[in-house]
A and B are shown apart, each in its own frame.
Chain A
Amino acid sequence: MAGQSNHELSLFSAEELEFIAEDEIVDIVPNLKMGPLNFISGDFGPFTPQIVTQVPLWLAIALKKRGKCSIRPPLWMSVEKLSQVLEAERDSQEMSDQLPFHYVEISRLLFDHARDNIPDVYMVRSLIEDIRNVRFHKVETDLEAFNGRTIAVKIKNLSAMEVNIVRPFIGRALQAFYKHDSPELIPDPERVSDRRPQVVNNAPRRQLRR
């Protein structure tokens, strides 16, 4: 994959995207008793053994690391669901809307920290890998459809990580189109010497363009 995350245009580093994804809510099954936690980012708990509760992913991972809970993988992270998604992705040029915006980061975090809580982890992992590849290939083909008339690009259901990968390219490409299409941005020798109003030097240039 085109790893350009250091590029200043990608804005968000992979770590920052992970940080954002860590606020997604997941189900956990605690195995300890603990009162509610009143965080700046919200109130979570109370925690009672075997009772499912909802917490942000970062908290789930922190508890998991200390052996205090098991994480319930989100519904979309099952072999059945992912196979459906993969099929849908392969069947159509449209991006499927079945996966959350941060599916890459969430699945990665869960693989790293809670692999024993994911049923069929190898299968799930390879399915997600396949989905990623199919989707990225689609994005690449979509990009070929760009042309000079593109002033805004609508992208449906692109995920955070995918956005980050294509952002430098799309951003620069659109900007280049935009620049070449704006007559006032093309340096004009006549304009440098004296600043005549736009209207005056519009006519000759138009002819050149045709």
Chain B
Amino acid sequence: MASSSGAEGESLDDYDSLIATTDVELLKRAWRNEKAAPEILRFESHLISRVKEQIQLMEETVEEKSSGGNDPLSVSLYQMDLDRTLFLLRSYLRIRIQKIEKYMFHILKTEELWNRLSKDEKDFARTCSSDLNQHLEETVLSKLPENYQSVLKQSIISEEDDMVPEPQLDTFVLCRSKEYLTGIQLEDGPADDRQFSSKLFEMERGVLHFICYKSIKALVESGKLDLL
């Protein structure tokens, strides 16, 4: 998908904000994007492992402080900070699991999506789909006429797997750009009489837009846009 950024002279800005941005902030962004995107996004493996490390360190610190019995106030504040981060992490992982459960057959057969999962998520998707497969087989499918026994197809005359739920990429999502973007292709279909179909779209920094997820998918993946 064609996308070019019109950002000039903002690299310094970016650098500053990168330095000032904590992992919690990044996790919050990942969480919001994941919540808002219809399909599963790439697992933020580096970020997640850093956050997990920090959580573990913090848990040890809190443990230490509370057994030392000094200053219950700051211990409780540290605990609150820890709880907030834990909430973000859990919620992030849960949304991903929900998406995997919903679209597991689709993810399993789509390499691009499959590669977005973490190792644990892959294990989960594999076990989950084989269990579901087996369950459906035993309870329903084996009792149906021969032509209708596939989990993936309505009947054997279906050419494609037409019983696999797929995420709807033409959902409209709300996004905010971090920089001035231009040349966003709104429709990737062949140009026809509708004037807007080939029109390039621009976005000012910080302005909210409701837009079709398909059109901005690449920008979300490259981190230029935030969903919310």
Interface residues of A (CB under 8 A from B): 11-12, 19-20, 23, 32, 34-35, 37, 39-42, 58-59, 62-63, 66, 68, 149, 151-156, 158, 160, 163, 167, 170-171, 174-175, 178-179, 181-182, 184
Contacts and interface: CB of A to CB of B under 8 A. Distances in A.
B78 to A, nearest CB: 7
Interface string B70-87: 010110111011101101
Interface residues of B, number: 43
Contacts of B215: 152
B187 A40 contact: no
B172 A40 contact: no
Contacts, number: 100
A39 B54 CA distance: 10
Given A167-B174, A171-B171, A41 B22 contact: yes
B208 A41 contact: no
B23 to A, nearest CB: 7
Given A20-B28, A41-B24, A154 B87 contact: no
B43 to A, nearest CB: 20
B212 A152 contact: yes
A200 to B, nearest CB: 14
B87 A59 contact: no
B186 to A, nearest CB: 5
A36 B51 CA distance: 21
A153 B174 CA distance: 9
26 contacts: A11-B36, A34-B71, A37-B77, A37-B78, A39-B78, A40-B58, A41-B22, A41-B24, A41-B25, A41-B81, A41-B85, A59-B80, A62-B76, A62-B80, A149-B196, A151-B196, A152-B209, A152-B215, A153-B209, A154-B207, A160-B228, A175-B172, A178-B170, A178-B172, A179-B170, A184-B189
B96 interface: no
A37 B196 CA distance: 53
Interface in B101-141: none
Secondary structure of the B contact surface, majority rule: helix
A174 to B, nearest CB: 4
Nearest to A156: B207
A158 B208 contact: yes
Contacts of A155: 207-210
**The 6 A-B residue pairs with the shortest CB-CB distance in the complex, in nearest-first order:** A39-B81, A153-B210, A152-B211, A41-B24, A174-B172, A171-B172
A58 B207 contact: no
Given A41-B84, A58-B84, A152-B209, A23 B28 contact: yes
Contacts of A178: 170, 172, 212
Given A41-B22, A171-B171, 4 more contacts: A40-B81, A41-B84, A58-B80, A155-B207
B210 A170 contact: yes
Nearest to B214: A178
B186 A151 contact: yes
Contact of A151 (B54, B55, B173, B212): B212
A188 B215 CA distance: 25
Contacts of A163: 174, 208, 228
